Amino acid sequence: MKRCTIILPDAGPINSLWVADRLDLLLRLDMRIVVVDAVYDELTSDPSYLKDAEVKVFIDEHSPPIVIERTDIGDAEREKRRRGQKSKKNAGELAMIDFISDEGGIRRYVDTNEPVAILFEDAGLRVFNRPPNLHLISTVGLLYGMQEVGIIPSAADIIDEMLHPKKPGRRPEDARRFTDLPGGIDEPATIGSSWKS
């Protein structure tokens, strides 16, 4: 089986791993990780907020393997901010739609026939016309897979920290809400793929 490129369609997985103080787990995957520009902007927009500051340092210091993909939506939103205009609240989601529908976006990854994994948190995520090399995995599913192969001792402990943050600098409103508990989602690509070591 071949290794995957991981694509993050929204800020959820990074926010959740930050709450648990486990962003390092993304590096333990030893894979390229693609973040859409507007999602990066959303994650790092307020340097006075501890999460945004720490996530920015983490992504910027680990690029590569983390790659920021530009989109027309992301470019337009950055230009609006430069002019002092307010950004759209759903710019990250719009940028991901742009990335998925653009010939130069996600197709550049899936058209190679190399496996691609979308790491997400919304259990309602649906991918239409799903290519055979696309693997779907939720943050919870990822943690249980990492436990299964011995990268972490307990997925449940990390999930509990995400749900009930106790780490320094985390606030009650940082607590995560998962719709795929207890086991998460891990749907392999039909061609066979592995994000596991």
Residue 94 lies in a domain: yes
The pLDDT of residue 79: 87
Instruction: Tell me, rounded to whole angstroms, the distance of Cα 115 from its chain centroid.
Output: 16
Q: Report pLDDT for 103.
A: 61
Residue 145, classed as helix, strand or coil, is helix
Residue 97: what pLDDT?
Answer: 73
| Residue 196 included in any domain | no
Question: Cα dist. 104→60, 99, 101, 171, 178 in Å?
Answer: 23, 8, 9, 39, 32
In a domain, 148, yes or no: yes
Q: Is residue 43 part of a domain?
A: yes
Return the higher-pLDDT residue of 195 and 80.
Answer: 80
pLDDT band at residue 125 under the 50/70/90 scheme: low
192 in a structural domain? no
Q: What's the chain's Rg over C-alpha atoms?
A: 16
Q: How far apart are CA 18 and CA 4, in angstroms?
A: 22
Q: Which residue has the higher pLDDT, 141 or 74?
A: 141
Q: What's the N-to-C CA distance of the chain in angstroms?
A: 11
pTM as predicted:
0.88
Please indicate, yes or no, if residue 193 is contained in any of the structural domains.
no
Domain count, the chain: 1
**Phi/psi at 10 (nearest 5 deg)?**
-155, 180
Give domain status of residue 37, yes or no.
Answer: yes
**Sequence-ordered list of residues with C-beta below 8 angstroms from that of 51, at least 6 positions apart, any chain:** 15, 18, 19, 169, 174
* Chain mean position to CA 28: 14
- pLDDT > 80? residue 185: yes
Q: Which of 14-23, 61-70, 112-121 has the weakest average pLDDT?
A: 112-121
* Domain around 44: 5-187
Is the per-residue pLDDT at 51 higher than 90? yes
Polymer length of the chain? 197
Mean pLDDT over the full length of the chain? 86
With 90 as the cut, is the pLDDT of residue 10 above it? no
Inform me whether the pLDDT recorded for 1 exceeds 50: no
Longest dimension (CA), the chain: 49
CA-nearest of 11, 29, 74 to 194 is 29
Residue 126's pLDDT is 63
- Say yes or no to pLDDT of 78 above 70: yes
Contact (Cβ atoms closer than 8 angstroms) between residue 153 and residue 22: no
CATH classification of the domain holding 139? 3.40.50
